[in-house]
Amino acid sequence: MDKSREAGCTAYLTKPIRRQTLLEALEKYSEATHAQSHRAKASERVPAVTDERLRALVPAYLEGRRRDIRTILTALEQGDYEQICTVGHKLHGSGAGYGFPEMSALGQRLEWAAERQDANDIREHATELSKYLDGLEMAVQRPQ
């Protein structure tokens, strides 16, 4: 629990997790994530990666997310919503760890859209992810 607090977590669930508890947590924290992502978009700021160890990994991480977009679009053409859900889940889990909370929020939205099999939302979120990556890649290429 101390490590999760140090990492910035403000809440957690323990197993076994009841469905109602999970749904309540998702609703509560998705509203916070949604508000946070809108603030990030409004300011159009790209977070600076200050940890030197992570900074060296960021270009490869971002390239992997470009591949994820191609995977999402291919899976969408094939109606493979499970694959899209998996990619969204991975983005949701990894983005904030690299200093990109908006990427985590996009991953969560992709995951939910895939669960609903909402092709329009999936396309929209994939486009958002691409634009977000464009901004990140430009920021990474700029001298600090």
Task: Give residues with Cβ within 8 angstroms of 136, minimum separation 6.
Answer: 46, 58, 62, 100
Q: How many domains does the chain have?
A: 1
Q: Is residue 1 part of a domain?
A: no
Residue closest to 8 by CA, chosen among 78, 99, 127: 99
Task: Give residues with Cβ within 8 angstroms of 84, minimum separation 6.
Answer: 72, 75, 76, 110, 111, 113, 114, 122
Residue-number span of the structural domain to which 50 is assigned = 16-141
Each residue's pLDDT expressed in tens, for the chain with a length of 144 residues: 567 666 667 777 777 877 677 667 766 666 544 444 444 443 344 555 556 677 778 888 899 999 999 999 999 999 999 999 999 999 999 888 888 888 999 999 999 999 999 999 999 999 999 999 988 777 766 544
Task: Give residues with Cβ within 8 angstroms of 126, minimum separation 6.
Answer: 69, 72, 73, 76, 110
Q: Is residue 102 part of a domain?
A: yes
Tokens 């994939």 found at: 126
CATH of residue 59's domain is: 1.20.120.160
Q: Is residue 5 part of a domain?
A: no
Q: What's the full length of the chain, in residues? A: 144
Q: Is residue 3 part of a domain?
A: no
Q: Is residue 67 part of a domain?
A: yes
Q: Is residue 22 part of a domain?
A: yes
Residue closest to 95 by CA, chosen among 107, 86, 104, 105: 104
Q: Is residue 62 part of a domain?
A: yes
Q: Is residue 6 part of a domain?
A: no
